[in-house]
Amino acid sequence: MSDRYTVISADCHAGADLLDYKPYVERRHHEAFDAWAATYVNPYADLLADTADKNWNSERRLAELEDDGIVAEVVFPNTIPPFFPSASLMAPAPTAEEFEQRWAGLRAHNRWLADFCAAAPGRRAGVFQILLNDVDEAVKEIRWAADAGLRGGLLLPGTPPGSGLPELYASTYDPIWAVCAELDVPVNHHAGSASPPLGDEPAARAVFMVETTWFSHRALWHLIFGGAFRRHPDLKLVLTEQGSGWIPGVLDMLDYYHGRLVAAATKASTAESKFGAGLAAAMGKGPSEVWRDNCFVGASFMRPHEVPLRDRIGLDKIMWGSDYPHDEGTHPYSREGLRIAYAGLPREEIAAMVGGNAARVYGFDLAYLDGIAAKVGPTVEEIAEPLGTPPADATSPVFARGGSVRVW
């Protein structure tokens, strides 16, 4: 047994430099791409800084991740896809032409990502993008992505209030769940894509921070109550960068409502009976059983107060992530982030949460990665040592005062 951990970050981000998307855009859209690129104003400071190339500089990423003890990564999008006015996939597309261009932009990103992952064989699982407005096109793109080797799976957009899209529990999306189950494509729902617009009032950003994870959690109960897992028992759902401490309580709540509504449906004279009508047959298993069999959590920079809940969450469900290259991520202090969360835990449990589970969900070759980790991975002895004072310049919430208090 190696004296080092094989660390796979289940939450990293990447994307092409804006103009580098052009070769991946269909030629018929090149003129429109030039016009879009000439007027696009990037709203994100980190994508304008000198360090922005962390998103697309393959050699730099490999070096910085290895320095941080990480040997492989699940790669979510980060830069703006062509033809979008903002990062949101829910941005309105008022005309059919604009909608067609948005699809062309997402396909360009996906094809760039396939090449980016191929530049580091076995070390990147790319997460590809779709739109939900056209299910047939989405299914085609899922099949293309699976053939192209994008093992990170599908990034599921949210359906926030006001989007005009059917809710995620709608049968409209069943072809998407079917093809993902057929091809063993994980369905990832990342925080940030499901929140409605909140306007420009001073409180808006704070309210967004408070609510964004809740809006992202909605995908869990939508798919459970919608019966997606009954119809497609091999479907895998991964909830990423939404924390993990909420899961036991939410599962208790969902189990409560499930049991209450199913029971009420047998009592035709009650006011609640209509709410549970047909629910048992449509859902199949209860919420906790669905979680046990089908769901996982990308527990980005897992906080110490979440760790004591690991058995209730499921040790085989938790996948640690560094959130590289975001400044709320743990780079360049991922070893310290692991220590502050996991010091004192059994070695086998740490190995599962920092790499083994992600290898299983996303299809990484763990034996291959073990060879790399034997040179760059954090040592078992190192992670076993509790962290005293966090690095003074660390920016990750895992080191935040109050967020790093372990409750046993």
Evaluate whether residue 405 is within a structural domain. Answer: no
Mean pLDDT of 4-20: 97
pLDDT tens column, 129-139: 999 999 999 99
Provide the CATH number for the domain around residue 352: 3.20.20.140
Burial pattern 224-242, b for ≥16 Cβ within 10 A else e, equals bbbbbbeebeebbbbbbbb
Q: What is the DSSP letter of 129?
A: E
Contacts of 24 (CB under 8 A, 6+ apart): 16, 107, 108, 109, 111, 112
The torsion angle over the Cα atoms of residues 382, 386, 390 and 395, rounded to 10 degrees, is 70
pLDDT of residue 402: 57
pLDDT of residue 406: 35
| Residue 53 lies in domain | 7-399
Start-to-end Cα distance in the chain: 29
**38 pLDDT higher than 80:** yes
Computed from CA positions of residues 389, 245, 215, 359, in that sequence, does the dihedral angle turn out positive or negative?
positive
Integer Cα distance of 5 and 356 in angstroms? 10
Percentage of the chain with pLDDT > 70?
98
Helix-helix angle 96-118:135-147, to 10 degrees: 10
Evaluate whether residue 407 is within a structural domain. Answer: no
Contacts of 40 (CB under 8 A, 6+ apart): 18, 80, 85
- Output the pTM of the full model: 0.95
pLDDT tens column, 337-370: 999 999 999 999 999 999 999 999 999 999 999 9
Residue 266's pLDDT band, with cuts at 50, 70 and 90, is confident
Minimal CA–CA distance to 112: which of 150, 59, 138, 83? Answer: 150
Distance of CA 161 to the CA centre of its chain: 21
Task: Give the pairing of strands 70-77 and 124-129.
Answer: parallel
Mean pLDDT of 250-273: 91
pLDDT tens column, 207-233: 998 999 999 999 999 999 999 999 999
Q: Do the beta carbons of residue 387 and residue 336 sit within 8 Å? A: yes
**404 pLDDT higher than 50:** no
**144 pLDDT higher than 90:** yes
Beta bridge partners of 127: 153
pLDDT of residue 43: 73
What's the total number of domains in the chain? 1
CA angle 187, 317, 14 (to 5 degrees): 50
pLDDT tens column, 242-260: 999 999 999 999 999 999 9
Helices (H) and strands (E) in the chain, counts: 17, 8
**403 pLDDT higher than 70:** no
Task: Give the pairing of strands 318-321 and 153-155.
Answer: unpaired
Integer Cα distance of 237 and 226 in angstroms? 14
**159 pLDDT higher than 70:** yes
pLDDT tens column, 290-318: 999 999 999 999 999 999 999 999 999 99
Six-digit token string for 397: 């919430």
pLDDT of residue 408: 27
Evaluate whether residue 408 is within a structural domain. Answer: no
Integer Cα distance of 352 and 299 in angstroms? 13
Residue 33's pLDDT band, with cuts at 50, 70 and 90, is very high
User: For residue 370, what is the enclosing H or E element?
Assistant: helix 366-376
Evaluate whether residue 342 is within a structural domain. Answer: yes
Evaluate whether residue 175 is within a structural domain. Answer: yes
Integer Cα distance of 162 and 159 in angstroms? 8
pLDDT of residue 1: 65
Q: What is the DSSP letter of 355?
A: I
Q: For the ranges 38-47, 193-202, 240-249, 349-358, which has the lowest average pLDDT?
A: 38-47
DSSP string, 157-225: PP--TTS-SPPTTSGGGHHHHHHHHHHT--EEEETTSSPPP--SSTTHHHHHHHHHHHHHHHHHHHHHH
CA distances from 317 to 157, 236, 241 (A): 22, 11, 14
Mean pLDDT of 4-11: 98
pLDDT of residue 407: 32
pLDDT of residue 200: 86
Evaluate whether residue 292 is within a structural domain. Answer: yes
pLDDT tens column, 57-112: 999 999 999 999 999 999 999 988 999 987 777 777 778 999 999 999 999 999 99
**239 pLDDT higher than 50:** yes
Evaluate whether residue 2 is within a structural domain. Answer: no
Evaluate whether residue 241 is within a structural domain. Answer: yes
- Give me the count of residues in the chain: 408
Task: Give the pairing of strands 70-77 and 7-14.
Answer: parallel
**44 pLDDT higher than 80:** no
pLDDT tens column, 97-130: 999 999 999 999 999 999 999 999 999 999 999 9
Please, what is the average pLDDT of the chain?
93
CA distances from 365 to 60, 79, 147, 348 (A): 23, 28, 18, 18
More confident position, 167 or 407: 167
Mean pLDDT of 24-53: 90
